[in-house]
Amino acid sequence: MHFATMSYKIKSRIWIESNGEMFLGNGCVQLLKAIDEIGSLNKAARSIGMSYKKAWNLVDAVNNKAKETVVLKSVGGKDGGGTELTPYGKELIRQFEAINTKTISFINQLKGIE
């Protein structure tokens, strides 16, 4: 079989595990980026088509597994609360996206391998 003459695409998904459990994946990163842009967990979840319950569970899990707090949540209050990424959370996104970019670049280099 000669891959170079066939019309295949190599695909890959990246995620990071901690102690054998999912820590950070594409869905969580998309949610974190939306939280950073919007400042609301509920609105961020809606903007990426995710249920609030799933979003809450992802944020809770990533906060519990990370070395530092990733997302700060405030409830109620005069302005109705909000959600924001910590500097550590922003760095996690940056590192995840760098790993993802390098992986895709490597995979694209494989196209010519026989």
pLDDT in tens, 68-98: 999 998 776 556 678 999 999 999 999 999 9
Q: What's this model's pTM, rounded to 2 decimal places?
A: 0.81
Domains of the chain listed by start with CATH number:
20-112 (1.10.10.10)
Angle at 100 between CA 99 and CA 105, to 5 degrees: 100
Of the chain, the end-to-end C-alpha distance in Å amounts to 9
Asked whether residue 1 carries a pLDDT value surpassing 60, the answer given is no
* pLDDT, position 48: 97
- pLDDT tens per residue across span 26-83: 999 999 999 999 999 999 999 999 999 999 999 999 999 999 999 998 776 556 678 9
- The alpha carbon of 111 is separated from its chain's Cα centroid by a whole number of angstroms, namely 27
**β-bridge pairing 71-75 and 21-25:** unpaired
Q: Which pLDDT value is given to residue 7?
A: 67
